[in-house]
Amino acid sequence: MPDFNRISANLSEQDEKDFQEAIATIRRVLDFQVTLTAEERIEGLKLGDKTQAFDDKCAIYMDSRSQFLPGFISVAEVKKDRALREQLRPYFKDIDALQKLIEDIDIVLGGEIYMADLAYYQSVREAAKRGIEGAAPVYEDLATRFPGRPRKGDAGPGKE
């Protein structure tokens, strides 16, 4: 039988405040926020693991053979970008782990809630079948979640 209560917790007002302040602090620190469109995320150039070695070589050559630099490239800005990227990279795993933790909590909570909802629905359906007063309108309202043919033996109220 599934566990109906894997999580039994709540966040205190202080917990919520701390959570909001932590997020606000991260947003404040990253005041240069950038928002990409879905298309930009897909099509944009990325400096991934396979390209990192290329960048490492370019960094050396930009310093040692600067005569080949195009005029529109600022080595100082590229160095600044590299430094910031290196500062942020250690946090990727932590942030990813936090996101997964919150998503896992959401999945477990959602499952617990939905299991309780389905159990209630089954109970009210049975009560409606038995003609218990007040059950039929509740059942009919909740049954709209499951459109389609009624299952055999699921006569519902007044559908004998």
User: How many structural domains does the chain have?
Assistant: 1
* pLDDT above 90 for 157: no
pLDDT score, position 160:
42
Looking at the domain assignment, is residue 6 inside a domain? no
Residue-number span of the structural domain to which 74 is assigned: 14-143
Give the per-residue pLDDT at 5.
Answer: 84
| Cα–Cα nearest to 75, from 51, 59, 54, 52 | 59
**Per-residue confidence (pLDDT) for residue 110, from 0 to 100:** 95
For residue 109, what pLDDT is reported? 95
3-state secondary structure 49-73: HHHHHHHHHHHHHHHHCHHHCCCCC
pTM for the full predicted model: 0.69
Instruction: Tell me if 111 is assigned to some domain.
Output: yes
Residue 160 belongs to some domain of the structure:
no
Q: State CA 140 to chain mean position distance.
A: 33
pLDDT at residue 149 is higher than 80: no
Does the residue 101 lie in any domain? yes
Read off the pLDDT of residues 1-20 as tens digits, 9 standing for 90 and up.
Answer: 556 788 899 999 999 999 99
Tokens 């005041």 belong to: 31
In a domain, 153, yes or no: no
Task: Express each pLDDT in 123-147 by its tens digit.
Answer: 999 999 999 999 999 999 999 998 8
In a domain, 88, yes or no: yes
